[in-house]
Structure 1
Amino acid sequence: MHKNHKIEAQEAKKTKKEETKQLSAGAFLARSGAFSITLTIHIWVAAMAWFAGYLGPRIGAELRTAPGGHAGFIVQAERYLDLMETFFQRNGI
């Protein structure tokens, strides 16, 4: 075998090993990427379900127990905004 053929065979072998490593790494990254996307969607759906089932009704209950119901809450919000505006004006903000 000629010397150049030997070198070419060694280089081909190294190239093949490198390609195999890259292919394995690509498959691993694709799987881990799909897993992280799936996990993100799962957590988001769980958070929305918790919000709708647990927190949502409590927010509505808080508004309903405010004096005057929803209308009373809106009046209180207007008073709060007036107080904040006064505070900002007095402090030069």
Structure 2
Amino acid sequence: MQIKEQREKNKAKRLVFSKTTFLFLFSVFYSTIVSAQCAMCRASLESSGDKNKVEAVNDGIVFLMAIPYVLVAVIGFVVYKMYYKKGTPTVSK
């Protein structure tokens, strides 16, 4: 009986984790086109008039912004896997 209760708890935990993971991934990947520039960068790039340079700086800023989120996601996944691998009950027959 105890194993069945533990399975039910694990199933509930996985369901909550999957819902929060889906919500997180949806909010990260569902985005619109963003012009990510500070005021100083925008002023200096607009005065030069080079459209390709402005787009390159925008892409660079977005890339630099995404790296910390990816690192946190990877670390969170590793911690999650270690936690559930350690806490999984073994059933002997």
TM-score, normalised on structure 1?
A: 0.41
TM-score, normalised on structure 2?
A: 0.41
Higher fraction of helix: 1
